[in-house]
Amino acid sequence: MEVDREDGRSQNQLRPLACSSNILHRAHGSASWSQGDTKVLAAVYGPKAGTKKNENPEKACIEVIWKPKTGQIGKLEKEYEMILKRTLQSICILTVNPNTTTSVIIQVVNDDGALLPSAINAACMALVDAGIPMRHLAVSICCCVARSGLVILDPTKLEEQNMKAFAYLVFPNSVHSVLPEGSLSVQGEPIENGIITSVTHGVMSVDDYFYCLEQGRAASTKLSDFLRRNLQQQSTDSSKAG
């Protein structure tokens, strides 16, 4: 089934990706991630001493602050903060620096669809730039189900609004390019078949959802490679002083 997308992409094609890290001088780690016209800036400060009142002091705590492009902070921003916090908590090793807080600040520069996945990718890169210990990286993608039943990846804002349902999916990054024999497996399945986060909007059938997961997983391999290439390039460039 062929689908007519405004920018001429096929249903499984992602928008052009661009990312750069270490762009801010005061922040301990920073990264900018753009997918097409959606651009997000992430900065990391940490670990800082002390945890907030209701947090467990035996572990490190992650604090997320989401700054929208314009307007006041509302419930949607708080929801994004919570999703991002739980996603990052599952990939960071929280027992290394107990009783500390790592702040992740997200600034939306432009929103053209797939905002939360871009933010998760940017936050991941910023955490690497800051040197926060992590188990593995997370790659995030948005899949949506059109009214015709077709599943397409990485929608623009216009496409998102016309969809029947869409899902933001976060997978652990695959290590195939580094370890050809594959990564650790959990109960017989390789680790990158797991899902870290899944947020859906709208109504979709169970089959559609599983198809979304398959497409998302395939795309996440490409994203992992892109992330790895970028990080390797940054590390061969001059190291950050001070």
Partner 1 sequence: MEGRLANAWRLTVNDKNFIKTALLSEIRIDGRKPFEYRKISIKFGREDGSSEVQLGQTRVISIVTAQLVQPYRDRPKEGMLSIFTEFSPMADPSFEPGRPGELAVELGRIIDRGLRESRAVDTESLCILAGKFVWAVRIDIHILDNGGNLVDAANIAALASLLTFRRPECSLGGEDGQEVIVHPPEIREPLPLMVHHLPIAITFGFFNNESILLIDPTHNEEAVMNGRMTTTVNANGDICAIQKGGGEGVPQRVIMQCLQLATSKAASITKQIKDAVEAFNTERALRKIKRHPTSTGVDVREKQNQ
Residues engaged in binding partner 1 (CB under 8 A)? 24-27, 30, 37, 39, 41, 43, 45, 48-50, 52, 65, 67, 69-71, 103, 105, 107, 109-110
- Cβ 103 to partner 1 shortest distance, Å: 6
CB atoms within 10 A of CB 25: 8
Looking at the Cβ atoms of 49 and 206, the one nearer to partner 1 is 49
Give me the sign of the Cα torsion angle 173, 176, 177, 181: positive
- Cβ 90 to partner 1 shortest distance, Å: 23
What is the bridge-based pairing of β-strands 38-49 and 100-110? Answer: antiparallel
- Cβ 92 to partner 1 shortest distance, Å: 19
- Cβ 96 to partner 1 shortest distance, Å: 19
Looking at the Cβ atoms of 109 and 134, the one nearer to partner 1 is 109
- Measured CA to CA, the distance from residue 126 to residue 240 in angstroms comes to 14
> Of 227, 236, 234, which Cα lies nearest the Cα of 22?
234
Looking at the Cβ atoms of 32 and 140, the one nearer to partner 1 is 32
Cβ–Cβ < 8 Å for 110, 122: no
Looking at the Cβ atoms of 48 and 228, the one nearer to partner 1 is 48
- Measured CA to CA, the distance from residue 10 to residue 159 in angstroms comes to 13
N-to-C CA span, the chain: 55
Looking at the Cβ atoms of 90 and 110, the one nearer to partner 1 is 110
Looking at the Cβ atoms of 47 and 172, the one nearer to partner 1 is 47
- Cβ 26 to partner 1 shortest distance, Å: 6
> Of 122, 155, 116, which Cα lies nearest the Cα of 230?
122
Q: Which residue has the tokens 């997320």?
A: 64
> Of 225, 140, 227, 121, which Cα lies nearest the Cα of 176?
225
- Cβ 65 to partner 1 shortest distance, Å: 5
